[in-house]
Structures are given as C-alpha cells and as structure tokens.
A and B are shown apart, each in its own frame.
Chain A
C-alpha cells in the first residue's frame, strides 16, 4: 500500500510532536513493505501539491494535534479548499494526538472525524487516538523513544489490517479516564509539575516570566 500522509499541525516540522509520532508510525508501516509520502499543512506554499496528492491517492491519513476539542483551524482551512472526490473509494484515516493523558479528551474530535470523510468523498477508515504527548519534544531521547515505540507497533498493525480497528484503537488510547490513584498523584504533585514546566520555560523557551502571569488582569470584568 502507498499511504498519503498529511500532517495537519500548524507547527514547523522540527518542533512538531505530530511529526515525531508520524516518523515512528511510518517506521512500523514501511517495515511491512509499504510506502508513504508525507506533506505538511504548515508549509502553505505546498498546498497545491497536497491538493493534487489528495486527488491522486485513495489511501489517505490525516495526522493532527487536538486543538480546542477538535481539529486545528489550519486543517479546516485546507479541507475547505479541496474538491471532494467523486468515486467514494478513497479510504480516509486519522491519527490524533493530544497533551492530556486521557483518551476521553480526544473523543469529541473523533466523533467529528467519523463524519468528515463523507464530506470529502471518501469512506471513514478509523482513527488512532493517543493522549499524553505534550512532553514528546521536551524529554530525553531515551524517554522519547519509549513514548513513541507504541506508534511503531501501530504502524505495523495498520499495515496488516489496512485500517485502524476500533477495538485496538480503544486499547491504544487508554487510559480512557484517570484512575483515582493517578488523579490523586497528579493533585499532590502540583509543586513538581510547576517545577517541570518552569524548567522547560527557562531552559527551552528562554523565559523567566511566571507562567501564571496575568498581563491583562485590568481588563477582566
């Protein structure tokens, strides 16, 4: 199978968690004798080529980060420029990643994606969801490799099944909700969490401002 992959993140490729995930996914998928081509909506000057690739391919994967409970605005903007396919034979799959750990946070987006292929003249071919991906760009290479390893296996399974099977995707997205124990740990680890984010802000974003700064407090009514 030749898979057209469209990365729908607005982030530059080098900083994209979605792209890191796709690299792992493709490693598994291509190891099964398949090929891929990857395009990026962040590179707006390539949209004509992406539209042409959409017209020419029938196995299509849109990969995206969760933005306010659904797809990013840039993805909608691009999709609105597509001419829907007419033969209904294209299989359109989705890969959604989010920052929050729980799978339930991604379900609202999934519900929309189930309806989307019909608007594009294709058939829905499943969605792979995974939360807890915020730190992929910030952690050590070893931690990153561990976080991305499941996506290599997901690529293998996609190659074998030709789709994202609902049952396996549900398993992949776990935990669906935080367990009481994990929620408790998160609640009591707030000082550590604060230190972690402040470390990222200082060392990787070169910022010394308090992360809970309120620059527009005077406007609040």
Chain B
C-alpha cells in the first residue's frame, strides 16, 4: 500500500463511488478505508500519549490500526464532508488523535515551537471534501496542521478537483 485513502463518507456516497472507480485506474497502489462503521472516539486531551504511555493512545478503539497505516503510507488522503465551514467532526477526530506520532519534547523552528516527531516519518496528507467550504481556509489549516507534525500538506481539494489531488499524490 503506497497511498491510503481514509473516507469518513460511506462507500455508497455517489462521489466516493466515482472516486474509487478512478483510483483503480490512476493510483492502483491505493488502499481505501471507510471509517463509518469503525468506532473512533474524539481525543480526550488527556496527554497520556505523551506522558503516561508515550506513543500509545489510551483509548482502545479502532483508531490505532489506522494510525499504523499512516506510518506505512507514502501519503494519506482524507475524504470527507464539510460542515460549518470546516471538515466534519469525524474527520477532525482523525487528526486530533494523531498526537501519539509526536513527542512531548519541543524544538523551535523559524521562531515557533514544535513538538519533536516520534518517528522518522514525513507524513504527507491531502483532504478531498464535499460540501461548501472556504478552500483557501482548508488549505491554510492543513498546511498548519502538517507543519506542526513535521509533515507535508498536499492540499485540500473539493471533489470536483480530485484530478488535481491525484496529481499531487502521484508527485509526492
């Protein structure tokens, strides 16, 4: 698996059906994971993954196997709905739970504090979304999120521009 597609939208969603169909032609090395039937709780903000059980989230649900796939993939695409002008809460939970990949230790980069990553792994991520949202903001947010994870943003794209997302993936 080179590319991981994590969809918080159901497999029968019209846009997802089309996307998966195109993926088979353009990125055959991609694995698609649907989270709708998974149990993935919100991050509790307990700091256990930094201070008590370093690198492990104390919530034992379906997230850990997914996080392990993040470590294996060359790039991850989050396929999601947008609500209230932002990614859905289910998708935000996937990002919030990613903190075990960082350590508590801090460093300074360009005058800003950053957590030191736990693994030598550059996470590359894109967001492919449905619904009305401010694309510039989503790109800004993803860039910031990846910056603090020492990762790379491949951009946020509305479904209509999924071709551009595929290009970004193919060239990462």
Contact = CB atoms under 8 A, between A and B. Distances in A.
Contact of A76 (B44, B84, B121): B84
Interface stretch (B11-19, B26-34, B46-54, B164-172): B46-54
Which range contains the number of A residues in contact with the other chain? Answer: 35 or more
Contacts, number: 164
A10 B46 CA distance: 9
Nearest to A212: B103
Interface in B80-139: 83-86, 88-90, 92-93, 95-96, 98-99, 103-108, 111-113, 116, 118-121, 134, 137
Given A11-B45, A108-B144, A197 B105 contact: yes
A80 B160 CA distance: 24
A45 to B, nearest CB: 15
B119 A217 contact: yes
Interface string A150-170: 000000000000000000000
Per DSSP, chain B at the interface is mixed
A65 B45 contact: yes
Most-contacted residue by chain B among A70, A120, A177, A214 (CB, 10 A): A70
Interface in A70-91: 70-74, 76-77, 79-80
Most buried by B among A79, A193, A211, A214: A211
Contacts of A120: 84
B55 A201 contact: no
Contacts of B134: 115
Contacts of B72: 219-221
Contacts of A221: 71-74, 121
Contact of A205 (B42, B52, B88): B52
Contacts of B44: 10-11
A217 B120 CA distance: 9
Contact of B141 (A69, A76, A220): A69
A212 B51 contact: no
